Amino acid sequence: MGNTIVSAGDDMDEAARRLMKAAGTAIDAEHYRNVANAKDIDRKTYTARQHQDYLKPEEALECEKFRIHDSYGMTVTPELVEKDDGGRLIKKLVALEAILAVPGEAIADEHGREFVTPPDVVAERDRAERERLPICTDWGNHSTSWLMRHRLGLRAILTDLMDGLEIKGDEATVEALADFSKRNAPHIKGILNLTIPLDESSVWILSQYLSQLALSMNSQRPVEDGKRVRYYQLNPDDVAFARQVLVYRQAQREERERKRQEERESPAAYAARMQAMYGVNTPSTPPINEDGSNNCGGVDGQENSDDVWWQQVKYYAAVVAERVKDGVESVKEFLSTLASDQRWGVMLAFEEAEPVVFGRLVAIAISILDCGSRIKPPADN
């Protein structure tokens, strides 16, 4: 068998091109609708499916819907699915969130050069990625991208633009950004994956950086002194959408921090409840087994002196005194939860504190034993 090359000619088949374009548009629109109409799932299901080698088509759509809703905090519609562009939009908004955050403190190296540290949200993203993927070495390096945008002066320009400021392109900050970009074009290409032509205007270069942050600019040409002057400002729809997503992401971070704080405080709260209810401390973490020993058979690492034991016994004796008014069964129920040595200690402490009541309890116990001894077992048939 052989291959036959068929010449298709150099002319463009316009009808076929339009047909293929229409087919692609229809396929994309159907996908957007399927994602929006997929069944809702929870985070546990989504996380479990990330470790599966194969997902059914409907499961993949459900995961895509969950990811979009979790990323933006909005109702998933076909328009939002199209806007998301397979997750590219949220990555741009994350970069926008990073450059708008307040930078960290400046540090100096041994040569006296100062470097600005990235915001906590950027550093935490890098740290979480390295902890989640310890074997991988091709990490995102979000701090490096942030530092390049910071040195370009994008934060100051973005702050003004998002507040509604209009620019003409001849501002000092915009021209400084363009000059820095042209001088460091190879580094910008390597870090931000953005090609900077040397013959482009300052506004065009700025627009390329904004496109990486999910922002675009509109222009208008009002008449000033008999001449038309072009002014640029951010697209209001892009700004409103970005602000809504950033507010949602901040609320999510605060909620996660609140849950982490509760998890840190729960052991202390549990220990306080145990101390208040029973007068005992929770077992401490055993010491680290560094020398190969068995840590003395597995002690809990707490001091357990006679004084501590006797204080616990006195507390239990006070509990018994409170339960006496509820009857003997209540006292027996409580004593059954104690160890043998603790029960004997409680009896001694209770007799010392309440000798009269203790004598009555002993008399009741003896009478119960006598009644039990007089009951004869049934005869065998």
CA–CA separation, 313 vs 154, rounded Å?
68
pLDDT tens-digit series, residues 174-188:
999 999 999 999 999
Mean pLDDT, rounded, for 84-106:
93
pLDDT tens-digit series, residues 134-166:
777 777 788 999 999 999 999 999 999 999 999
Amino acid (one-letter) located at 196: I
- pTM for this prediction: 0.68
CA–CA separation, 223 vs 187, rounded Å?
40
What 3-state class would DSSP assign to 101?
coil
pLDDT tens-digit series, residues 166-222:
999 889 999 999 999 999 999 999 999 999 999 999 999 999 999 999 999 999 888
Provide the β-strand partners of residue 223: 228
pLDDT tens-digit series, residues 338-373:
877 777 788 888 778 777 777 777 777 666 656 554
CA–CA separation, 132 vs 143, rounded Å?
17
Amino acid (one-letter) located at 312: Q
Residue 274 · residue 280 · CB < 8 Å: yes
pLDDT tens-digit series, residues 28-38:
999 999 999 99
Domain definitions of the chain by residue range? 25-84, 87-275, 306-374
Residue 133 · residue 139 · CB < 8 Å: yes
What 3-state class would DSSP assign to 300?
coil
Residue 211 · residue 203 · CB < 8 Å: no
The pLDDT of residue 54: 93
Amino acid (one-letter) located at 149: R
